[in-house]
Every structure is written in structure tokens, then in C-alpha cells.
Amino acid sequence: MPDVLHDLLGEALHIVLCGTAASTASAKASAYYAHTQNKFWTILHETGLTPKKLQPHQFRDLLHYRIGLTDLVKTHSGMDHQIPLSRLRKVARERLRASIAGSRPRFLAFTSKTAGQAFLGGKRDYGEQPEWLDQTRIWILPSTSGAANGSWRPEIWHQFADKVRSQRR
């Protein structure tokens, strides 16, 4: 199956942000985090990871800030509970590992607990994880989806941004 959204990866990335899969709105718009209720673009700006608030159609501009984007599952779209993770987990993990090995970012941050737990293989809390992928630190951040408002904790995103700034190459 073709990818719903193409990876936004490249050399010299500092961060790769990884969701579970593209939302229906993102798939339709061909842009990451495109739903109007999604807080992704706002929190990137509020934390200082981007100097201005970008719009979903400007997602490619993240490369200027050494930020890349991908999803754990590239071939499906929808809400986390609609993605057949149990069937796709192994292939998704291998693909993401290869993508991270190729771009070698300083940080891999999952933008949903579902994606982070599926990749790491078990229950996890938000924040920095003990595992690394070679030289890449792993974080799990609260989802920016409007459907996840009940678990929204912007302070974790701010902690992540502070750690990123302290580790600039």
C-alpha cells in the first residue's frame, strides 16, 4: 500500500516528531496535523521549537528548523483506535528504525502515547524514555489531537523543548 503522507526527513535533523498515523483530515489535505482542532502547530510555536506558528500546508518548512515528521504507520489513516497496530506493529517498527538510522536526529519524539508504546513494546508514561536508538533520545509527548484533550499536558511539550535547546549540536 502507498504511504498516506510522505516522510519529511533529511540530513542534519535535530528532531523527528512521529505520530501513530495520519488523521483523516491530514490524509485529505496531504498535510501533517491538518485538523482544525489539532494543537500541534500552536504548541510548536509556544514552546519555541518554531519561531512562528506555521499552518499545516507549511509542514515542509519544518526542515528549516531541523525538524522532521513521520508516522509509525504510513499506510493507514484515521484515529489511533482505527489503526490495526497489532497487525502492522512489526513492519512499522522496522520501518521507523530504518528511517531514524538514515536521518540520525538527536531526538525522536512520539506525538501520541499510542505510537510510543507500540514502538517501544509496552506501557509507558510521558517524557524521556530510557531507551535510545543509537545516538537518538526517545520521548513520548501528549497527543495534540482534539480527541485527546482529556490527556493534554502542554508542560511535557515545554520540558521536551527545554531539553532540545540544552542539547543543540
Strand ranges inside the chain, DSSP E? 15-19, 67-71, 107-110, 127-133, 136-140
Is there a domain that residue 6 lies in?
A: no
Is there a domain that residue 1 lies in?
A: no
pTM to 2 decimals? 0.94
Q: What is the CATH number of the domain that holds 124?
A: 3.40.470.10
* Domain hosting residue 136, numbered range: 15-166
Is there a domain that residue 66 lies in?
A: yes
Give the tens place of pLDDT for each residue, 2-38. Answer: 899 999 999 889 999 999 999 999 999 999 999 999 9
For 66, how many CA atoms within 13 A lie in the half-sphere containing its CB?
16
Confidence bin at 169 (pLDDT 50/70/90) = low
Is there a domain that residue 7 lies in?
A: no
Is there a domain that residue 9 lies in?
A: no
Q: What is the spatial distance between Cα 106 and Cα 29, in angstroms, rounded to a whole number?
A: 29
Is there a domain that residue 71 lies in?
A: yes
Sign of CA dihedral 86, 41, 150, 47: positive
Is there a domain that residue 2 lies in?
A: no
